[in-house]
Amino acid sequence: MCVKPIIAPSLLSADFNRLGEEIEMLNRSEADWIHLDVMDGVFVPNISFGMPVIKAVRQLSQKPLDTHLMIVQPERYIHTFKEIGCDLLTVHWETCTHLHRTIAQIKEEDMLAGVALNPHTPVAGLEDMIQDLDLVLIMSVNPGFGGQKFIPRSLHRITELREMIERNNSNALIEVDGGVNVDNIKDIINAGADAVVAGNAVFKSENPEETIQKLKQL
C-alpha cells in the first residue's frame, strides 16, 4: 500500500495548560484528524474530558474531530456529540447491546460511524456489521491511558480485519490506537491499517510537528 497513512494525534497527551497552542500546532501540521478520547470512569478506569472541552477544540481546530467514546451507553449522547461538532464517532463494541442500532443513529446524525474493539474482543464478531461501518478502531492497548506499550498481537488482528473488509467489499477504514510510534508505524500500516492514533509519540516528543511528519512518511 503506498497511500500515506491518516495520522490522528490524540489530544489526551497534550499540555492542557496550552491547549490553544497545541491545537494551532496541529492545524499547521500534517495531521489529518484530531483524536478525542472521552472516558467515563466506568467503562475504563480513568476520566478524561467531555463536551465543554470538545466544544472549545471545535472552535480552534481546522481538522475533523475523530471522537473515541470509552463510555457506557454511548447512544445517550450521539446527538450532543454531533451538536458540538464531532465528525467521526466511534463507540466500543463492548458497550453496545444494540450495536447495529447505535451505528445507524450515528449515521442519521450525519457523522462517520466507527466501532472500537478491545484487545480481547474477537475481530470475527464484526463480520455481520462490517458493510455498515465507516471505521473500525483496533485497540492495541487496553483503553484508559496514554503512553502504554503496543500489544504485538494487534498486527494479526489488523490483517484479519483487512481480509474481512475485502471479503465483504466494505469501505471501512482501519484505525489503530495505542502505543503507536515512529518505530512501529510501518509494521502497522503494512499489516493493513489506514489510520493511526498517536498520543505520547507526538506530544511528548521534542518537536511534535516534525514527529507528525515522520509518522506520515512512515
Output phi, psi for 22, to 5 deg. -65, -40
Tell me how crowded residue 121 is: count the other CB atoms within 10 A of its CB. Answer: 17
Q: Indicate if 132 belongs to the active site.
A: no
Choice from 37, 66, 175, 194 touching Zn ion (CB under 5 A): 37
Q: Indicate if 177 belongs to the active site.
A: yes
Q: Which stretch binds Zn ion (CB under 5 A): 34-42, 59-67, 98-106, 107-115?
A: 34-42
Q: Which stretch binds Zn ion (CB under 5 A): 1-9, 54-62, 119-127, 175-183?
A: 175-183
Catalytic residue among 32, 37, 132, 194: 37
How far is residue 129's CA from residue 177's CA, in Å, rounded to a whole number? 21
Catalytic residue among 66, 134, 177, 194: 177
Give the cell for residue 109. Answer: 446524525
Does residue 92 interact with Zn ion by CB under 5 A? no
Does residue 31 interact with ligand DX5 by CB under 6 A? no
Q: How far is CA 115 from each of CA 95, 166, 175, 211, 215, rounded to the nearest angstrom?
A: 10, 17, 10, 27, 24
Q: Following DSSP, what letter does each residue of 169-206 receive, concatenated? A: T---EEEEESS--TTTHHHHHHHT-SEEEESHHHHTSS
Task: Answer whether 143's CB lies under 8 Å from 70's CB.
Answer: yes
How far is residue 186's CA from residue 111's CA, in Å, rounded to a whole number? 29
Choice from 23, 26, 180, 193 touching ligand DX5 (CB under 6 A): 180
- Binding track over 118-157 against ligand DX5, x by CB under 6 A: -----------------------x-xxxxxx---------
Measured from the CB of residue 202, what is the shortest distance to ligand DX5 in angstroms?
A: 8
148 or 168: CB nearest ligand DX5: 148
Does residue 12 interact with ligand DX5 by CB under 6 A? yes
How far is residue 133's CA from residue 114's CA, in Å, rounded to a whole number? 6
Which residues of the shown chain bind Zn ion in the complex (CB under 5 A)? 37, 68, 177
Which residues of the shown chain bind ligand DX5 in the complex (CB under 6 A)? 10, 12-13, 35, 37, 68, 141, 143-148, 177-180, 197-201
